[in-house]
Chains A and B, each alone.
Chain A
Amino acid sequence: MKNNLIYKKQYAVLALFASVTLKVLMLPSFMMADCGRQAWFAMLLMMTLEILMFWVVYVVISKQSLLDIEMHKTLKYIIVSFVFFVSVIKGIVVLNETMDYINRSLFEGGLWQYKLIALMGVVFFITYKGPNVIVRCMQVALWLFVISMVMVLVTFEANMQVDNILPFLPNGIGGVLYACDKHYLWFGDFIPLLFFCMTPKHRDKEKISIPMAFCGMMVFIVGFYILFIALYGEAGVLVDHAFSKLMGFTMAEGLEGILFPVVCIWILIAILRTCLTFYALTEAGTFLFKKRLPVMIVLFLGFTIFAYINGGIETAYDIGTSWIRYIVMAVQYSVPILLLVLTRMHAKKEPKPKAIKKTEQKVKYAEDIQK
């Protein structure tokens, strides 16, 4: 396994992008189709759950990664198998949505299958290079994103009606819960982070990044949905890629071209988000089938062929909203909680588990290499 140690601030960046990237592309129109202008409240509910899960995963990986936690071998195989299955389903949705976003933002024609091959090549390479590349790229993308968002917000000009979010729950909470349930697959994105482990050296020094990630997720997503509803009202159902559309309202003279760089940065983030899912798949697959590279090749060929034959966002949406989502939901909530319990139990038994020793050895090894 590649070096999977990350700093606390890197975990914050990973979690932030893992959570928000795909929630601002096609999900706004899907949510609006089912719960109308209450979509912002649905997101508020789901993001609250998301942040709770973010905290659980953080506590787990601050000690050990999923593969390092000591537990019964059979149990570990079962857990990793479920994680593998969930990552396959997530991978289908994430890959198709990213592909659709790239295809419709950058190209005006041509067979999308060729673009898929190009995308898979990039995803394969980044995943092969390992988690550090994904994390570093996301750290770079974060600053590009922050700068471009500031530029967009400063020059944002459009007719908005913030009272579009009213009245609050006129028909009860039923529609909101239905939308949350139907689109669950777009939530609970922290499973790939279970394969990372926090560097023990920096475990307690850095205080601000995790609360900032909490706030960043909540403010960005809920704020984005309120802005979206204020701009479009019920017409939001017609907007396929909300992020691209919202970035288009920069009317300041001479800055019209700002849209394209922002969309490109988000494409970069969406690709890295896809890599994160494939990294989880690769790690789970390697644990189950032992050989990393053959597992990667089979996985990538499998996904490419599946997307080539059955691809398209419609298929991904059908899979994402089918009964399979309940299995995904069960795994995404139960696995981190189970791991949390296991790590706590283990910590009580042994004050200094072997796995931490292993981790410390890895840190020492990494530092030696750097020297």
Chain B
Amino acid sequence: MQRIFKNKWLIVILVFAALLTFEKNIPKLSLLNRGLVIGMAVDFENDELVFTAQMVLPSNRDTSGGQYSVFESQGRNIEEAINNMSNQTGNVVSLGQCGVLILGRSVLERGDFSSVSYLMKEERVPESMFVMSSEAHAGDLLRSDVVVEEVSSYHFIRLFNNSHIYLGLNRINLKDFFSNYYTEGGANYLPVAVAIESEDVPEQGTGVSNSSDHLFEMDLNRTAIMTRDGYKTTLNKRESDGLTLVIKKVTRGGLDIRANDGTEININIVQSKAKMQYDLETMTATVNVKVKAKLLDRTTINGIGDDHNLDDEEIALLEEDLKARIMECFEKCKEESTDVFNLYSGFYKKYGRKWEQIAKKDYLDDLNLQVNVNVSTR
């Protein structure tokens, strides 16, 4: 028997036979039979999950610009909806290249994140995929033609996938979304996309148009706040700025402030960094925000000013303004009993069981938030 196994030809034949068996039983899909999803949206309608996907459909024809289509399917859960879409379109839905997931308002209001949980566990879905929400039906955002000559999914990915972190744009990916979701007492956030109709007219035959008569601009300056129970509130631009300053390191962003004499000051935020401190004795959480800012221009009643430095008075004004943005964000969420800056988690990490014993259900009412903003212009 040993001799049989030392026969190299027998081994070659065995390997060949095994490969043939393997070859016949592992499905091989042609690229032409795949629907490469670049963006997807999830909504609920009448207790059914509606799954919308923007796909690139590979073609054997020489087409410039590619072929993009939006498909929709329904199911009791996302897995069933994806299977239904594969059956309906005749293309296997491939999520490996998907760059953005849009959750409709109905998903947030129901607080049903099981679809996101499924995607998180799915091996082939990239965790760096951005997650966002829409003001209304998420599928409609994928169908919108955007002003720049690209499909909506790519447009969103390009806006989020930037090495800079912009003030007010609270981008988040799948991994961080779930990391926040499991944080004790904490809140989660998603940028909200609002489609604003543009005066531009769509060009036909570009391969990216959905043949609508209108083009849309996407406003992403609002932020939806939710907890595990579901949707809580939506922050406006100023409040979103406040959230960005506390939870992210901003590397770019512009804001306008008005001086007491009516001068409009246009400022560029070059860099910001926040550090949290917690004191259980005084029940105070302190946010220390360091900001580097640069004056872009100053418009007075007499025209554009020629001074290119912020003076002390303007720096104080800017510090007050940024502090106000952070407090507005905190207060708005506090009204909804939502701990937007994850203060519970911060105290818990520092004080452990001691904090758990002290913290009541409505602990936010007992906490003080102190904000210190330090602006430098160098």
Contact = CB atoms under 8 A, between A and B. Distances in A.
A233 B180 CA distance: 8
Most chain B beta-carbon neighbours within 10 Å: one of A108, A239, A293? A108
Interface residues of A, number: 40
Contacts of B182: 233-235, 237
Interface stretch (A57-65, A113-121, A178-186, A343-351): A113-121
Interface string B325-358: 0000000000000000000000011111100100
B9 interface: no
B26 A166 contact: no
A167 B183 contact: no
B307 to A, nearest CB: 39
Contacts of A239: 120-121
Interface string A238-258: 111100110011010000000
Interface string B115-137: 00100110110111000000000
A235 B349 CA distance: 16
Interface stretch (B51-59, B144-152, B171-179, B255-263): B171-179
Contact of B26 (A114, A171, A251): A114
Given A107-B26, A115-B26, A167-B350, A238 B21 contact: no
A154 to B, nearest CB: 16
A251 B128 contact: yes
Contacts of A105: 123
A128 B5 contact: yes
Contacts, number: 89
A163 interface: yes
B175 A114 contact: no
B27 interface: yes
Contacts of B121: 238-240
Interface in A128-180: 128, 158-159, 163-164, 166-168, 170-171
A111 interface: yes
A195 to B, nearest CB: 20
A109 interface: yes
B1 interface: yes
B21 A114 contact: yes
Nearest to A249: B128
B19 to A, nearest CB: 8
A247 to B, nearest CB: 11
Given A166-B349, A231-B175, A248 B128 contact: yes
Contacts of A241: 123
Contact of B22 (A118, A158, A249): A118
B302 to A, nearest CB: 46
A117 B18 CA distance: 8
A110 B11 CA distance: 25
Nearest to A158: B175
B175 A232 contact: yes
Contacts of B353: 167, 170-171
A293 B5 contact: yes
Interface string B155-182: 0000000000000000001011011011
Contacts of B127: 245, 248-249
A25 to B, nearest CB: 12
Interface residues of B, number: 37
Nearest to A234: B182
A234 B349 CA distance: 13
Given A231-B175, A235-B179, A238-B178, A121 B124 contact: no
B60 interface: no
Contacts of A293: 1-2, 5
Nearest to A128: B5
Interface in B1-46: 1-2, 5, 11, 14-15, 18, 21-22, 25-27
A6 B64 CA distance: 60
Interface in A22-54: none
A249 B21 CA distance: 36
A121 B18 contact: yes
Interface in B87-145: 94, 117, 120-121, 123-124, 126-128
Given A107-B26, A234-B182, A235-B179, A240 B123 contact: yes
Contact of A294 (B1, B11, B175): B1
B5 A232 contact: no
B352 A118 contact: no
B25 A114 contact: yes
B15 A235 contact: no
Contacts of A159: 173, 175-176, 179
B349 A232 contact: no
Contacts of B184: 234
A294 B126 CA distance: 46
A305 B243 CA distance: 57
Nearest to A230: B179
A158 B179 CA distance: 12
Contacts of B178: 232, 235, 238
Given A111-B25, A114-B25, A121-B15, 10 more contacts: A108-B94, A110-B26, A125-B11, A159-B176, A166-B349, A166-B350, A170-B356, A238-B117, A248-B127, A294-B1
Interface of B: 1-2, 5, 11, 14-15, 18, 21-22, 25-27, 94, 117, 120-121, 123-124, 126-128, 173, 175-176, 178-179, 181-184, 348-353, 356
19 contacts: A107-B26, A110-B25, A110-B27, A115-B22, A117-B22, A121-B14, A159-B179, A163-B349, A167-B349, A167-B350, A170-B348, A170-B352, A170-B356, A231-B175, A233-B182, A233-B183, A235-B175, A237-B182, A240-B121
Interface of A: 104-105, 107-111, 114-115, 117-118, 121, 125, 128, 158-159, 163-164, 166-168, 170-171, 231-235, 237-241, 244-245, 248-249, 251, 293-294
The 8 A-B residue pairs whose C-beta atoms are closest, nearest first, are A167-B352, A234-B182, A170-B352, A235-B178, A110-B26, A166-B349, A114-B25, A235-B182
